[in-house]
Amino acid sequence: MAEAVARAGATVALLDVRDEVHDAAEQLSVATGAGVVGVVADVTDEASVDAALDQVADRLGVPEALVHAAGVADTTSALDITPERFRQIVDINLTGTFVVCRAFARRLIVAGQSGSAVTIASMSSLRVNRPQDQAAYNASKAGVAMLTKSLAVEWLPLGIRLNAISPGYFASEQTLAVPRDAPEQFAQWMAHTPVGRMGEPHELGPLAVYLLSDASAYVVGQSIVIDGGYTAL
């Protein structure tokens, strides 16, 4: 998504909890020719988020577009997951989304600017996808979808528009291990995905660009599902 936004002409700041974000920013800049900076931030720490966005504003100006994609999953059963781990998942996936979106909005309001934000929910906000157990993840992503809708209504009069993307199974470091380590689970995934494959990361890019741009000015508070037909069944 960051690559698509960069290729659309934006200057980009990448924020991540890992130090590798600096290398990722350099690689993205080389690949796209866009100005890209990397900043370390922890979405569960409001002070960390504020410091990171202040750094971005100092270097690039107040951000006018946001994609918030930080998230974690856990397939521990609901009978076995600890309350501490449950809270951690909700803290990263849901509260982290709130903290970052609010920090983004506050800076726009002070600067007198309008903007657009995209959050990442999941098809798991709509379906209990099987066979994995992931009650905490599903609940957190359902929360992201409703949080996005709520903030969209609250902040639209302030010139800030929000929508969510709800992906299905996309190829990533985590999901690409499933065909190798759990082929039966992967077979179930594909049996419930009419397209019969996982999504490729680049397929999220155009949707993110559309939702951030004025082309989608009449799209407000929606959770756009991109899942190869999984939730259509």
**Beta carbons of 145 and 189 less than 8 angstroms apart:** no
Residue 31, number of CB atoms within 10 A of its CB = 12
Is the alpha carbon torsion for 10, 7, 99, 154 positive or negative? positive
Query: Tokens 């020719």 label which residue?
Result: 33
Contact criterion met (CB below 8 Å) for 95 and 68: no
Q: What is the DSSP string of 57-120?
A: HHHH-S-SEEEE---------TTT--HHHHHHHHIIIIIHHHHHHHHHHHHHHHHT--EEEEEE
- Asked if 68 and 92 touch (Cβ cutoff 8 Å), the reply is no
- Cα separation, 41 vs 33, whole angstroms: 24
137 is an active site residue: yes
Q: Choose among 145, 129, 146, 135: nearest CA to 73.
A: 135
Rounded to a whole number of angstroms, the CA Rg of the chain reads: 18
Which residues participate in catalysis according to the annotation? 137
